Structure 1
């Protein structure tokens, strides 16, 4: 659907359950993104992908690394509220060897452009665990602002952690994007 010099986003399909299943069951990957650390059966993951790829109030995409064509992550807009022009963004970079290569930033930039320019949303928000400082720094760099926190809502690693809610408004994104955003090719 969209691409830049690093990645391509393609629509999530029911056939993506195998690759997502590996990420979903990798506790290192899910530790900093999923509230429920669990082991899932292949059938559980297949059912989830079927639901995610068919939901009218969700837009799910596989992130492919252009250099190799490898699926490396997933990004979605979920709970799209057309009346209030709002959606939640979720992202996972499932291939650990691809962490720190700018893939998350590129995928977020594309999904925000799509959310604000194509879907005409007013607000996109996300949730991040308070110990995931690397993600918080990225979100702030893109223009997200902290809107609130769910105090001690997550028990992880023997400690309680906050879940931080961050959001970005269309005007904030457009102001930020006009200064920093490289062109994205629609495919």
Structure 2
């Protein structure tokens, strides 16, 4: 099936997911490595964000990642800034349920999203941004074939220090060659 693997399934995000997303969005440990704006968000603000930004954008697709065995929601993944003319998009992944960290769910989520992006949507390129201190994510993206494309120097202030944002990209032909090995 298109939106499932051995461990996870995707389901389209809905407005009813705002409360679940609000819990992840307000978990500072979860957001430390993914959100440049650490803050506490009231539920109404998250509902508005989900409705307008996540669901209201014609250039994005967002999915709740579910543990296939238990049906537990474990995170969110999205393709944003989808440009069908030039066949490009940016991907985002957040494993919001900390009980699922370090068990390969991020890798499986990203593989499923990339399969969809490259094999179903026929995108040419998928990009992402990652904080320079998030070594585990950088290594994961490199394993999946993402190439370093640039750096936004010292544009994130976190933990009393300046950090870079690394820009990475993966081409369809690279992904297909990698998945055949």
Matches within 5 A, 1:128-147: 128-147=130-149
TM-score by length of structure 1 reads: 0.94
Q: Can you give the 5+ residue segments of structure 2 that lack an aligned partner in the other structure?
A: none
**Aligned structure 1 segments of 4 or more residues deviating by more than 6 angstroms:** none
TM-score computed with the length of structure 2 as normaliser: 0.97
For residue 2 of structure 1, give the secondary structure of its aligned residue in structure 2: coil
Structure 1, unaligned runs of 5 or more: 180-187
Matched, 1:46 2:47: yes
Instruction: Note the C-alpha offset of 1:43.
Output: 0.6
How far 1:62 sits from its partner (Å)? Answer: 0.3
Question: Which segment is superposed worse, 52-61 or 34-43?
Answer: 52-61
Residues 1:169 and 2:171 aligned together: yes
Provide the alpha-carbon RMSD of the alignment: 0.9
Partner SS, residue 86 of structure 2 = coil
Deviating more after overlay: 115-124 vs 160-169: 115-124
Larger relative contact order (C-alpha < 8 A, sep ≥ 6)?
A: 1
In the other structure, the counterpart of 1:35 is 36
Offset of residue 54 of structure 1: 3.1
Moved more, 122-131 or 41-50: 41-50
How far apart are residue 131 of structure 1 and its match?
0.3
What does residue 87 of structure 1 align with? Answer: 89
